[in-house]
A and B are shown apart, each in its own frame.
Chain A
Amino acid sequence: MTFITQTSMTIILRVPTLNDSQTDCTRLFSLWQQLQNLESQEVIVDFSDCRFLRQNAVAFLGGLARLIQSRNGKVNFVWNTLQDDIRANLTQNGFIDIFDGTQRKWLGNSVPYREYRYEDMDAIASYLENCWLGRGWVQIDSASSDEIVQNALEVYSNAFEHSASQIGIFTCGQRYPNLGKLHLTVIDFGVGIPPNVRQFLNQPQKLAADALKWAFKLGNTTRANKISGGTGLNTLKQFVKQKSGTIEIYSHDGYALITSGQEIYQRSPAFFQGTLINITVKCDSPAYNSSESTLFY
């Protein structure tokens, strides 16, 4: 899959339609791979071929833009190539405002795009509580809300502690009130989980899939200084299993899918140096009376 056209100083990146299946994540990682050797060039992001952008794609594109900028490149989003409904959502969720600054975000039902350069857990907690779970858009009691937010926060905490991402963490979410489901994507462009595990265990040949499996086991941690750990990811795993949710992780060439009924650890179809985590949790009950559409893009 080739998504770029390159001249001497300019690269045109054609964003395809991006949902959140494994094929779509492979497309996202392909975009990242094709921009790996970029230095001090201008990247023009063209959305003409894009008919749909899911929350994982929004978060990934934001992170990719920051990665390009961190390498002294310039990113030029061609907003007028956006379909109207995608443009409306990227305006509403603050993506355009963050990268352009001329179109202020407006208060709507979409879950905002956020980037966190530093570990500001209070701000992330507020984001999850107020913007992801939202203002009553999903029917959920206070105890369940606290539990969901706390478990989701473990992902961010883990990323800040272990990823060593130089450009921070990128996130976006999506609600499906009619299905009683919440989706959340957290992405870092750091070192990835498998290299951390390999280094800690001194097993450079360890398969990425096996490294991911190790990381989810209770009590296993790569934390130094003999301080106990290895409860965060395992707690999250138990939580999504209880809630009939899912965790999907892409890190290096490893892929993990955890659901209430199964745990799959395997080789990822595409390499991505950092870590992309998709979480889906079910709420107490579907909000049948919600007027919000189940699809925002």
Chain B
Amino acid sequence: MRYAIREMIGENCMTQQSGQQIYEMIYPRLQAGQSVELDFAGTKRFLSVFFNFAIGQLLRDIDPETLDRLLAVSNLSPVGQQAYDRVMENAKRYYSLDDERQRAFDAIILEQATLL
């Protein structure tokens, strides 16, 4: 299934709401093991909050290998690709932790915060 992002939310991909809109559309398909293509042709601006809500949070329930296999992203501008890559790298780290490790990770963050 191909989704034309510009037709759905316009040329700017910049808000939580638009990110959540994309997430809610593609999540059921990906969960069902179906392929999804997000076509960013004609889009212009991208903020990290959009990618975190649209795609980053998919990694909460879908492992990175499966997501890489099922989700294709096309026609992103260089600036958009840069933002996407940074968000996905961070999200993979964030969601790769199981509950126990998540607690340990949170504890490390707290410890770092205490030491600052």
Q: A residues bordering B, Cβ < 8 Å?
A: 119, 121-122, 125, 143, 146-147, 149-150, 153-154, 157, 161, 197, 201, 203, 206-207, 210, 213-214, 217-220, 223, 226-232, 235
CA distance A232 to B22 in the complex (A): 20
CA distance A232 to B87 in the complex (A): 9
Tell me the interface secondary structure of chain A in the complex. helix
CA distance A284 to B93 in the complex (A): 34
Residues of B25-81 contacting chain A, CB below 8 A: 44-49, 52-53, 56-57, 59-60, 77-79
Decide: A119 and B47 in contact? CB cutoff 8 A.
no
Decide: A228 and B10 in contact? CB cutoff 8 A.
no
Set of chain B residues within 8 Å of A121, measured between Cβ atoms: 12, 14-15, 45, 47
Tell me if B94 is interfacial: C-beta within 8 Å of chain A: yes
How big is the B interface, by class?
20 to 34
Tell me if B104 is interfacial: C-beta within 8 Å of chain A: no
Q: B residues bordering A, Cβ < 8 Å?
A: 10, 12, 14-16, 44-49, 52-53, 56-57, 59-60, 77-79, 83, 86-87, 90-91, 93-95, 109-110, 112-114, 116
Set of chain B residues within 8 Å of A122, measured between Cβ atoms: 10, 12, 14
Set of chain B residues within 8 Å of A147, measured between Cβ atoms: 79
A209: nearest residue on chain B (CB-CB)? B116
Set of chain B residues within 8 Å of A207, measured between Cβ atoms: 116
Set of chain A residues within 8 Å of B79, measured between Cβ atoms: 143, 146-147, 150
Of A125, A201, A206, A229, which contacts B48 at CB under 8 A? Answer: A229
CA distance A157 to B95 in the complex (A): 23
Set of chain A residues within 8 Å of B46, measured between Cβ atoms: 150
